[in-house]
Amino acid sequence: MDTIRSDADAAPHDAHPLVRDILARHAGRPGALLPILHDVQDALGWIPEPAVPQIAAALQRSRAEVHGVISFYGHFRTTPPARTQLEVCRAESCQACGGNALYEHARARVAAGDPGEVSLAPVYCLGLCAQSPAVMIDGRPHARVTPEKLDALLAAAREA
């Protein structure tokens, strides 16, 4: 069971002040590893490598254990997120309405762009089935998306 040690115990690995604050908030809470990882990613957008020994020391666990949890859950990022997050629905209704072609268009566009500009991930239903195909850009849903509309949406996201 994960229980945070005191700040003094964690001091040798105190690589990031924000992580130190998160560890302090979880002090004394059992099973804190996953909530800590979520909080770090929510705060920083990813889990930087220097945070791993800091978390491991505070929880009296090995770096390998912390790495193991991070790599087990696909949700956790170990690299900075792209400037724009694009998710394209790959579920049935969207597939039936051109979603496959839209996904291929998105994939080609992301591959041709600058690294770190746009990330692409599949999602499985955004609740917009009646207005398929659907995408999510930086957490905002868009319906009836064509390749041309997707290009315009990504251009607008880049300008924002």
Interface with ligand FES (CB under 6 A): 89, 91-94, 125-129, 132, 134
Q: Which is nearer to ligand FES, 9 or 92 (CB)?
A: 92
Q: Which is nearer to ligand FES, 39 or 87 (CB)?
A: 87
- 84 closest CA partner among 142, 7, 129: 142
Residue 48 to residue 80: CA distance in whole angstroms? 8
- 32 closest CA partner among 46, 19, 45: 19
Residue 150 to residue 120: CA distance in whole angstroms? 12
94 marked among binding-site residues: yes
Which tokens hold the place of 157? Answer: 């996201």
Report, in Å, the least distance between residue 93 CB and ligand FES: 4
Q: Are the CB atoms for 84 and 140 separated by under 8 Å?
A: no
97 marked among binding-site residues: no
89 marked among binding-site residues: yes
Report, in Å, the least distance between residue 132 CB and ligand FES: 5
Report, in Å, the least distance between residue 141 CB and ligand FES: 8
Which tokens hold the place of 117? Answer: 């500009």
Report, in Å, the least distance between residue 143 CB and ligand FES: 8
Residues in binding site for [2Fe-2S] cluster: 89, 94, 125, 129
